[in-house]
Structure 1
Amino acid sequence: MSEKRRISPLLLLPPVLFAGLAALFFIGMTRDDPDALPSMLIGKPAPALALSDLAGQGPFDAAALADGKVKLVNFWASWCAPCRQEHPELETLAGTGVEIYGINYKDDPTKAIRFLDELGNPFVALGADPSGRTAIEWGVYGVPETFVIDGEGTVLLRHPGPLTPAIVEAEIRPLLDNPPATSN
């Protein structure tokens, strides 16, 4: 008497799942920039701003972002260590005449003012986003994040994370010096 053993289909499930996960991992590793966080705003008008006053300057609005000049919009917070790390780069940019609009994200206003008093204020205008609603509209993943906005108020670039001299020279400066023509 010979007995035939049947292999259960469930025994094949683990190797098939492993092969599928390995294929997904391989595809993910071969992308051009695995750290890139895509933005749906590139080439579109900057989203609405719902900001409150910070430092008595009064919040800025969308009209300020469409004043004919290329500028930066920087989301930051006093509790954010990478924001402190990038701050000297913002100061350098402001010192060269770059207009930077600051949006203080979910922060205590007193601590935000203390942060700027300590490190300097590179912003031509400030607004606070205490609820985070503006950050959501802009697609902000976390602070710091910086957007390059053309003179018509169109988003040219989104950079998540702190700015460094290398990032400014490779990504930001070319757009500030020679912004592409946009068609809204």
Structure 2
Amino acid sequence: MGAASTASSTPASHRVLVALVPLALFIALVALLAFGLGNDPRKVPSPLVGKPVPVFSLPELTDPGRSVSDTDLKGTISLVNVWASWCGSCRAEHQALMALSEIPDFQVVGLNWKDDAENATQVLRLTGNPYDMNGYDPDNSVGIHWGVYGAPETFVVDRKGIIRYKHIGPIDRTVWEETLQPLVAELQAEG
């Protein structure tokens, strides 16, 4: 009789474990979903922050005889803005970039990404050109090394050519005042 009762208790405990496994997986999935929904998709960390800008050289969009390279990002604080003429969010941030281009002691550098040069130059002619220089990257040969996966994206680069911050999405007054301006002021104070 003792052997029979032991055999009957094993299947019951086994059934409890089998029932708990899907419940545990469901709880883990809900927790992962809640964590993902609680994060801002524009705050994707960049593995390049704290590292030198990638080595690159691109033709200048409005003057293809000139080039834009990583060496142009040394010696001054730079906002490197990834944009395209087909990008609606880029158009939305354009006026903010025009205002930023008037602020002394840093440069706004464009990275025209996956675009048609004629369309891009026409947009700049019609809306104004906030860029001190503008690298033309139609095939993403440079953007891929910067970790660009969409437009607009903006990088803050210090005087030594180190990427200090990456912003995904359009820059507006709030982004400038709350995030970028304090960082630029800190970098300016570093001399």
Q: Which residue of 2 aligns with 1:81?
A: 88
> More displaced, 9-18 or 154-163?
9-18
Alignment root-mean-square deviation, CA: 2.4
Structure 1 partner of 2:52: 45
Amino acid at match of 2:62: A
- How far does the alpha carbon of each residue in 1:112-156 deviate from its partner, in whole angstroms, 9 at most, with x for none? 011111110011111111111211101112110111111111111
Greater Rg by CA: 2
Instruction: Looking at secondary structure, tell me which structure has more strand per residue.
Output: 2
Q: Does 1:114 align with 2:110?
A: no
Residue 77 of structure 2: aligned partner: 70
**TM norm structure 2:** 0.82
Cα 1:29–1:111 change in 2 (3 A) is closer
Higher helix share: 2
| Fraction of identical pairs, as percent | 38
Secondary structure of 1:141's aligned partner = coil
TM-score, with structure 1 as normaliser: 0.85
Count of matched residue pairs: 177
- Alignment correspondent of 2:3: none
Whole-Å Cα distance in 2 between the matches of residues 101 and 23 of structure 1?
41
Deviates more, 1:54-63 or 1:68-77: 54-63
2:59 alignment partner, SS class: coil
Gaps of 5+ in 1: none
- Using the alignment, how far apart are the partners of 2:90 and 2:38 within structure 1? 30
Deviations along 1:26-66, whole A, 9 cap, x unmatched? 444566x5642001111111112242341115221111101
- Looking at structure 2, the residues matched to 123 and 53 of structure 1 have their Cα atoms a distance apart, in angstroms, of 11
